[in-house]
């Protein structure tokens, strides 16, 4: 497991690196980052033409699928942090692409839904977005793409269980 020899944590006066780390470009975070960037580079121009950022698009897409959602639920679906979502919703609301209203039962919660204008915008973006995705699938191979997705999903699962190593978990 540990192929790295025992090393003094304090380090000596010697500045020479005796423990070369993995090749930088082969690190998993870098690989994932580059792959994702390679993919997103295809989508951004199209989104930009329609005045949407990647995150705004994610939100609209999530909303179109679920009719209405609370902010926290939407954050989980669109994989955005609360503060980011809060800002983006403010802007999308100002552009009349979404609608918001507080829940009657719990005044803390607000239900977010896509507006008619938002639906139309989505409809105008979706074709080109789908075309790009199809091209990517064609280039890479549909079977391989599905396999990649599975491996990524399992990576997520593997690391999700890992949480107990460092910090106490208070959930079941």
Partner DNA sequence: GGGAGATACTTAACATGTTAAGCGAATGCG
Partner DNA sequence: CGCATTCGCTTAACATGTTAAGTATCTCCC
Interaction with DNA in 48-67: which residues (CB under 7 A)? 48, 53, 55-56
Contacting range for DNA; rule: CB under 7 A; set: 101-109, 130-138, 146-154, 161-169:
101-109
Asked if 39 is part of the footprint of its own copies (rule: CB under 8 A), the reply reads yes
Instruction: Report the nearest approach of its own copies to the CB of residue 107 (Å).
Output: 11
By the rule CB under 8 A, 93 interacts with its own copies: no
Q: How far is the CB of 144 from DNA (least distance, A)?
A: 24
- Interacting span for DNA (CB under 7 A) from 1-9, 108-116, 138-146, 156-164: 108-116
DSSP 52-77: --HHHHHHHHHHHHHSEEEHHHHHHH
Least Cβ distance, residue 75 to its own copies (angstroms): 13
Residues 75 and 52: their CA atoms lie apart, in Å, by 18
Tokens of 118: 């938002």
CB 42 within 8 A of CB 136: yes
- In the numeric block, which tokens belong to residue 96? 């009349």
Pair of tokens at residue 17: 């690196």
Among 15, 16, 107, 159, binds DNA (CB under 7 A): 107
E strand intervals along the chain: 68-70, 98-102, 110-114
Tell me which DSSP letter residue 51 carries.
Answer: T
CA distance 21 to 2: 13
Residue 91 as a binder of DNA (CB under 7 A): the answer is: yes
Site size for its own copies, by CB under 8 A?
A: 94
Rule CB under 7 A: choose which of 60, 62, 85, 125 binds DNA.
85
Query: Token pair of 82, please?
Result: 């609360």
Instruction: Please give the residue ranges that form the binding site for DNA (CB under 7 A).
Output: 37, 40, 44, 48, 53, 55-56, 70-73, 80-91, 105-110
């Amino acid at each position: 497991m540990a192929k790295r020899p025992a090393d003094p944590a304090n380090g000596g006066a010697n500045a020479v690196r005796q423990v070369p780390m993995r090749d930088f470009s082969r690190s998993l975070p870098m690989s994932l980052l580059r792959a994702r960037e390679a993919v997103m580079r295809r989508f951004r121009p199209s989104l930009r033409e329609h005045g949407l950022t990647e995150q705004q698009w994610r939100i609209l897409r999530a909303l179109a699928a679920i009719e209405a959602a609370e902010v926290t639920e939407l954050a989980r679906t669109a994989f955005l942090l609360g503060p980011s979502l809060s800002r983006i919703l403010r802007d999308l609301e100002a552009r009349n692409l979404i609608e918001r209203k507080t829940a009657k039962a719990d005044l803390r919660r607000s239900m977010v839904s896509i507006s008619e204008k938002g639906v139309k915008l989505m409809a105008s973006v979706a074709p080109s977005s789908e075309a790009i995705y199809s091209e990517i699938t064609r280039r890479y191979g549909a079977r391989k793409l599905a396999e990649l997705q599975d491996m990524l999903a399992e990576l997520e699962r593997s690391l999700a269980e890992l949480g107990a190593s460092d910090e106490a978990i208070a959930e079941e």
